[in-house]
Amino acid sequence: MSNLQVKVEKVEKKSNILRQLKVRVPAAVVSSRLEKGLREVQKTAKLKGFRQGHVPMPVVKQFYGEDVRHQVFHDLIDESFQEAVRGEKLRAVGRPQIETPDHKTGAGEHDHSIEEGKDLSYVATVEVMPEIEVKGYTGIALTRESTKVEKEDVKKIVDNFLSAQAQLIPTADSHLARKGDSAEIKFEGGIVVDGKVEAKAGMSGSRMLEIGSDTLIPGFEDELVGMKKGDTKTFKIDFPKDFYEKDLAGKPASFTVDMLEIKEKQLPELNDEFAKQMGYEGLADLNKKIEEHVANEKKGESDRKLRSDLLQALIEKNVFEVPASLIQAQTRALANDVAQNLKRQGADDKTIQEILLSEMENISKKAENQVKASLIVEAVAKAEKFEVTAADLDAEISKMAVSMKVEEPKVKEFYLNNPSRKEDLEYRIREERTLGWLLEKAKIKDAK
């Protein structure tokens, strides 16, 4: 912790989330830091005519004085600001805007304004965590979605199992293609401009696809229905208005398709033998395990929806300002998650950037809601005096060790040696407890 001498001469509350501090660093501290900086430079200074480490101080000041003043200014601003907010017990977020008597900076873009023998004075404007007094957080009316497992839920998964194990059998030449068939096609396409077709890269090629799987743009696969092996068909279709390639979005297109071959799915027989091949004891066990899986999935989805509805209700009941820096940080985190997910799906950098730009408003809104929800839950935990004890921490670490299949002492040592990670874990435990308590206090009815 810094022992820097700092004088906070004034603190103004500009809004619920904005504070302005007038800070002064004494001249003695400034002079001491400048002298120390120059001595450090003198040790390594290399100038023609002098041995390294033996350059006279007046020469060091002449050649390096400006750089040292600039660096000392940066260091003193950063250290004194941290000391000031710590002394005033402010929960600052983001970087401050610094204004010196002769220069106003953006966030973190300090221009040096420092002299030996003179105080360093500046005004720092910074966002802080909002002071929230949460209202109406008990007795919230919620509806729990049904978790009942229907026969169709099980049948859908069984059908997927059968489909995954199906064989593709070539059909007779007279067979008319239908949904569910697999078609091998060759196609050439382009954009329709003034009644003429202009070829476009990526709009021609060959592929095998299942008709009705919506692999291609909407409407394309419908045109394949009724075609026979050897048929050629030309048709027009519009690209979706929200198509990810902006230069194609909403544009009319024309395609010529050659049907090379049609194959039908031949499903395996659904019996005990099939179930055993899938790793189950038999057909009854397969159905039972699928029902259990669907029940768990539905319960998880119902619980997530209930929490989401709870948090949305709390957000609507409690209106408050949110620091822009928190929203920006969460927006960056969500955008990075989207980008990584798209990358795993094989999207290239250009496509990822286009999708992020088109979705940025939604991502930013989602980030704002997440920040609001987090702040509200934290405020409720504070109001209800929920604390995380050492026993709570040990219990959670034990659960994590089992889940990760790692020795418990190693997990515990990791958190003890990483205070910030330990703090994050404590926050998650407190958040879970608070959400659980809020749900206990809510008025929940089951959907019909």
Q: What is the mean pLDDT of each run of 10 residues along the chain (448 residues)?
A: 80 94 95 93 88 88 90 94 94 92 53 79 95 94 94 94 92 94 95 90 90 92 96 95 85 95 94 95 96 96 96 96 95 96 89 90 96 96 94 94 93 92 94 96 92
Residue 86 CB partners (closer than 8 Å, separation 6+): none
Beta bridge partners of 257: 187, 233
CATH number of 167-266: 3.10.50.40
Whole-number Å distance between alpha carbons of 248 and 219: 16
Pick from 130, 126, 122: which is nearest to 96 by CA? Answer: 126
Residue 166 CB partners (closer than 8 Å, separation 6+): 265, 266, 267, 268
Residue 326 · residue 93 · CB < 8 Å: yes
The bridge status of strand 167-170 relative to strand 443-446 is unpaired
For residue 113, the model assigns a pLDDT of: 65
Residue 261 · residue 275 · CB < 8 Å: no
Q: What is the pLDDT of residues 391-421, one digit of tens each?
A: 999 999 999 999 999 999 999 999 989 999 9
Whole-number Å distance between alpha carbons of 21 and 92: 12
For residue 350, the model assigns a pLDDT of: 87
Domain ranges of the chain: 7-128, 167-266, 281-446
Residue 199 · residue 152 · CB < 8 Å: no
The sign of the torsion formed by the CA atoms of 199, 201, 207, 212 equals: negative
DSSP calls for 262-277: EEEEEPPP-SHHHHHH
DSSP calls for 21-65: EEEEE-HHHHHHHHHHHHHHHHHH---TTS-TT---HHHHHHHHH
Backbone angles phi, psi at 3, to 5 degrees: -110, 25
For residue 434, the model assigns a pLDDT of: 97
CATH number of 281-446: 1.10.3120.10
3-class secondary-structure state, position 180? coil
3-class secondary-structure state, position 211? coil
Q: What is the pLDDT of residues 59-79, one digit of tens each?
A: 988 999 899 999 999 999 999
Whole-number Å distance between alpha carbons of 241 and 90: 48
For residue 231, the model assigns a pLDDT of: 97
Task: For domain 7-128, say whether CATH 3.30.70.1050 is its number.
Answer: yes
For residue 108, the model assigns a pLDDT of: 45
The bridge status of strand 443-446 relative to strand 141-144 is parallel
CA distances from 419 to 195, 229, 333, 360, 413 (A): 67, 67, 22, 33, 11
Q: Which two tokens stand for residue 55?
A: 């350059």
For residue 107, the model assigns a pLDDT of: 42
Q: Which two tokens stand for residue 232?
A: 């050629």
For residue 103, the model assigns a pLDDT of: 58
Whole-number Å distance between alpha carbons of 167 and 164: 9
